[in-house]
Amino acid sequence: MILERLTLKGKTAIVSGAGGGGIGTTTCLALAEAGANIVAVDIFQDRLQDTEQRVKALGRECLGVIADLTKRSDIQNAVAQGVKKFGAIHCVANVAGGMRPDERGELENFPEDKFDHVVAMNLKYIYMMNQAVAKHMIEKAIPGTMASVASVSGVGGAAYHAPYGAAKAGLIAITKSMAVEWGVYGIRVNALAPGAVKTPRAVAGNTVDMDTRAKTTIPIGRACEPDEIAAGLLFLLSPLASAISGHTLVVDGGATSKFAFGGPNDKHASRSNIREAPRP
């Protein structure tokens, strides 16, 4: 009974940020293994081709759509193409997001244009994607599911990427509002907040090995793998989570469960890299 509910057989899922070999790609593969056909959306053609080939190797259909997710017209076109190809869209997985290397910095000097871009890529496009698919689901009386990748940065504050944290906190909030408004139509809306994840982009951009750092910061002693995030998204989108809506599932290896400063004998507690602020 339980395994029978962990299925998306006969469904179509649209996945944003579907290429690149990270969370988006593994999410496409997880949903395909569960039986879904995939509308794979990305801005890079070569990344899409790789995802399409891997999904089709699992015996599922995959439609690749090039789109700039900052443009409403591109999002609407992706949804329309998916509906034309498969007849309906039943699931949405919003994975695209993150920050460029030049979008980290001290908030007091942070440029407005970069702030706007971070918000556009981590909050606004999700509002536009879910809105476009919700209209389709409501019109066709489809009881659908939606799940978006948030971040632990939207749960707690972090230095030097405040716009990202603000956008992810906004995503968590708007997820609850969508769940409340669209629940009457049988649409469930959730979010998933990862911690450190060993995506190809994250590994390439880190000067310190992620697992080495994780040994002192994450209770399970390692960073998460992309397929572990994809597994959480599959759960939220599947009938196995049929009573879950408006929720943010934290998948961070227990990192946010830890109090910031332990006792004097806590091997995980360290003040060596903390700069004390002056008293006001």
263 within some domain:
no
The model's confidence at residue 273, banded by pLDDT at 50, 70 and 90, is: very low
Find the radius of gyration of the CA atoms of the chain. Answer: 19
C-beta neighbour count of 187 within 10 angstroms? 22
276 within some domain:
no
Q: Report whether 148 contacts 24 (CB < 8 A).
A: no
* CATH code of 142's domain: 3.40.50.720
Largest pairwise CA distance in the chain: 63
Confidence at residue 143, expressed as pLDDT on a 0 to 100 scale: 97
**Sheet hosting strand 12-16, strand order edge to edge:** 62-66, 37-42, 12-16, 91-94, 145-149, 188-194, 248-251
pLDDT digits (tens, 9 = 90+) for 50-72: 999 999 999 999 999 999 999 99
Whether pLDDT at 280 is above 70: no
Better-predicted residue by pLDDT, 22 or 211: 22
Better-predicted residue by pLDDT, 97 or 268: 97
265 within some domain:
no
127 catalytically annotated: no
264 within some domain:
no
Residue ranges making up the domain that contains 113: 10-255
Query: In the chain, pLDDT over 90 holds for what percent of residues?
Result: 78
The 8-class DSSP code of residue 3 comes to H
18 within some domain:
yes
| 65 sits in which H/E element | strand 62-66
Number of domains in the chain: 1
d(CA 165, CA 171): 10
d(CA 19, CA 9): 22
Confidence at residue 185, expressed as pLDDT on a 0 to 100 scale: 98
Whether pLDDT at 158 is above 70: yes
181 within some domain:
yes
Closest CA to 35 of 61, 63, 10: 10
267 within some domain:
no
d(CA 97, CA 126): 10
Whether pLDDT at 171 is above 80: yes
87 within some domain:
yes
Confirm whether pTM is higher than 0.85.
yes
Closest CA to 38 of 30, 48, 51, 28: 28
Confidence at residue 262, expressed as pLDDT on a 0 to 100 scale: 53
C-beta neighbour count of 139 within 10 angstroms? 9
Confidence at residue 269, expressed as pLDDT on a 0 to 100 scale: 44
Q: Which one of 125, 127, 160, 164 is the catalytic residue? A: 164
